[in-house]
Amino acid sequence: MNRRDTIKEINGFTVQFGKFSDRVYLLDYLEKYDRLLLENISVLAQYHNYSKIIIKAGKDAATKLEKDGFACEGRVEGYHKGQQDALFMVRYLNFKRYEHDKKDIAQVLEKTDRMHEEKPDNLPDMYQIRPLTFKDAPEMAALFKRVFATYPFPIFEEEYLRETMADNCTYLGVFFQEKLIGVSNCETSKDHLACEMTDFAIDERHRGQKLARHLLQAMEEKLREMDFKTVYTIARAASLPMNATFKKAGYVYGGTLINNTQISGSIESMNIYYKTLA
């Protein structure tokens, strides 16, 4: 199996598709319903026998998508300039894709529900956080390879990391004795004043230090300075540490995307969390 999916433009929208995550995913925000776009991605999914289509849509587009057999699995409130929500609309082409272990997801949500917003302690003096640059790409790719068996985007490739840096991504890194041991990414959408907090990777030898929480706090501070309105993440539903990181940072649970993403060797369900930046 190809270890990455294809990303290309269809009718002027950026779409990711392939057997790796076995889905078609509209990466752009669909504010207005587009019949031709929907027909083309539906044909694409059916031709290749993909089992899921996912579209991030505004309210008006989502209402019409429901008539086409889509259902809402999650939302990010205030995604568009703090005023309009993004609804994650999905359609399953193979209902086996919808089968999942509800108990595991429920246990994580139950535990995080009891958590409250809290500020982390100061970053230990042995660690330093700074923005990452093109020259850091080899260390970044190597760290991602150590942390993840598989990933939905080609973050194991140095050139891809440099391309995203030049486009809409700002990566932060945690260093220990001048070695990169932690990474996170602000994937910004300036048209919407929203940002996905993603690509968190911490070397297993340095876990338990709340480094992901410190990276998240540093990213939020940077985005506030840039007048962004909303931040969100799509976190592994089975990972209590990552869910806890966002819950303790004041993020709101926005739903679960069932069997959604190829990550760490299998297709996993993902939880949405979002937060309004004051």
Q: 51 lies in which domain range?
A: 6-99
Q: What is the pTM of this model?
A: 0.95
Q: Environment class of residue 132 by beta-carbon count within 10 Å: exposed (0-12), middle (13-18) or buried (19+)?
A: buried
Whether 258 is covered by a domain: the verdict is yes
Least confident of 66-80, 100-114, 230-244: 100-114
Q: Are residues 144 and 259 in the same domain?
A: yes
Q: Residue 213 corresponds to which tokens in the numbers above?
A: 């929480």
Q: Give the pLDDT confidence of 5-50 residue by residue, as tens digits.
A: 999 999 999 999 999 999 999 999 999 999 999 999 999 999 999 9
From 99, 132, 158, the end of a domain falls on: 99
Q: How confident is the model at residue 1 (pLDDT cuts 50, 70, 90)?
A: very low
Contact between 254 and 272 (Cβ < 8 Å): yes
For residues 228-254, average pLDDT: 96
38-49: b (≥16 Cβ within 10 Å) or e: bebbbeebeeee
For the chain, the domain total comes to: 2
Helices (H) and strands (E) in the chain, counts: 7, 13
Q: Is the pLDDT of residue 120 over 90?
A: no
Contact between 163 and 179 (Cβ < 8 Å): no
From 99, 124, 151, the end of a domain falls on: 99
Q: Are residues 85 and 189 in the same domain?
A: no
Q: Are residues 91 and 142 in the same domain?
A: no
Sign of CA dihedral 124, 127, 132, 138: negative
Whether 1 is covered by a domain: the verdict is no
CATH for 38:
3.40.630.30
Q: Give the pLDDT confidence of 173-230 residue by residue, as tens digits.
A: 999 999 999 999 999 999 999 999 999 999 999 999 999 999 999 999 999 999 999 9
